[in-house]
Structures are given as C-alpha cells and as structure tokens.
A and B are shown apart, each in its own frame.
Chain A
Amino acid sequence: QLQLQESGPGLVKPSETLSLTCTVSGGSMSSSSYYWGWIRQPPGKGLEWIGSIYYSGSTYYNPSLKSRVTISVDTSKNQFSLKLSSVTAADTAVYYCARHLSVVGAPTHFDYWGQGTLVTVSS
C-alpha cells in the first residue's frame, strides 16, 4: 500500500524559507506512471495546489507562487521536497504531499495523499 509522509519544521519565522520533505513508501517514485505534488490548506480554508514534479525533475508550479517555490526530487531516497521562500503569515497552512496519476504522459488527479503537516509562520 502506497504511503506518503510529510516531514519538516512546524514553525518558520517570517521572511525565512519553509522546507518540507515527502517520503514515499510502498512504491517507487521512478515510475513513469506518476507525478508528485504539493498542496496546502490554510486553517479553515480551501485547497491550493503549489506545484508538482516528475521523477526526471521536470516541474509545474502555481503561477501565483512560482517566484518563491522550488520542488526537487531524490529518487534514490524515494523523496521529494518543497522549498517556499520569503514566507509570511499567509503561508500558514497544512501542507500535503500527494501522487498524481499520469495519463498519456500528462499528470492528472491526485490519487494518494499524505496525512498533512501544519506549518505556522510566526516570530
């Protein structure tokens, strides 16, 4: 059974960089059948897609966050990571990692999700 687990600091200071890692178990990230993504949800609000990555390293980013986001992959560790720079209180959210199914080479819906991790931006 595929499992995704987010890890990283739960508290980040304003203007600093938020860094999270998603560890995938029960399956290989190197499969051409999947992409891997990050989604966030501010407390009491809806879901926002942040960005996604293929095992080869090709990425898609949300245009509204693109200037601050970097997503990378380490297939040897079966992990992918999120860095969000210059954070403010508006970046406080539960951050989820998830798997996209790839259909004819294009990433589609999210079929497996991690449990999520709350990151608070505060001094």
Chain B
Amino acid sequence: DIQMTQSPSTLSASVGDRVTITCRASQSISTWLAWYQQKPGKAPKLLIYKASSLKSGVPSRFSGSGSGTEFTLTINSLQPDDFATYYCQQYNTLWTFGQGTKVEIK
C-alpha cells in the first residue's frame, strides 16, 4: 500500500500570507497526485490534479508542484475563503489520501 503523509497537520496563517503544505508518498507515484479542499459539512473539491494542473475555475493563487515522492500545495495571498482542510491523494496505485492539513486563522 502507498502511504501519504502530509505536514503540517495544522497551520495557522493570516489573510495575505503565502502558505505551503507538503505531501510525501511512501514510494514513487510519478505525478499521479491530486489536491482537494474541504470545508466543514461539505464534500471535498478538486483543486489540482497530476501534481500541478489547476482545475478549471480554481483561483490561480493555488499551485502544486513535485514528482516522485514529494509534493507541495502553495496558496499565494491566502484569502478568507481558503480557511479549510486540504488533502492530497495519490492515484498511482489504487487511491490513498493524506491525513489532511487544516489551515486556520491566526
């Protein structure tokens, strides 16, 4: 099984900050990685797929990078709507999610 580990688990930030979340895979997954945003009581929403491809309609302040085993999600100039929990997910071999990173207001 491929394990996905996100860091940090919680991140405190202010509006306007640049935020980076890291996701590590237990083995190489090439660029078969997606990032999702989830708000309380709602379904996750796809932000980025294939490690760095932005889903249509997602603000350009979101970006993803990485390949192999290490990946990052960056949010430039954090907006009030961005306070949420973020999950990475690999789809190289079946599907596994990271444990999530909660971005909270500082």
Contact = CB atoms under 8 A, between A and B. Distances in A.
Interface residues of A, number: 22
Interface of A is mostly: strand
Nearest to A116: B43
Contacts of A98: 43
A86 interface: no
A15 to B, nearest CB: 27
A62 interface: yes
A109 B55 CA distance: 11
Contacts of B96: 49
B30 to A, nearest CB: 12
Could you say which interface size class chain B belongs to? 20 to 34
A96 B43 contact: yes
Given A46-B98, A46-B99, A108-B49, A114 B87 contact: no
Interface in A95-123: 96, 98, 100-101, 107-111, 113-116
15 contacts: A46-B87, A46-B99, A48-B97, A49-B94, A49-B95, A60-B94, A63-B94, A108-B32, A108-B34, A108-B49, A108-B91, A110-B46, A113-B43, A115-B43, A116-B43
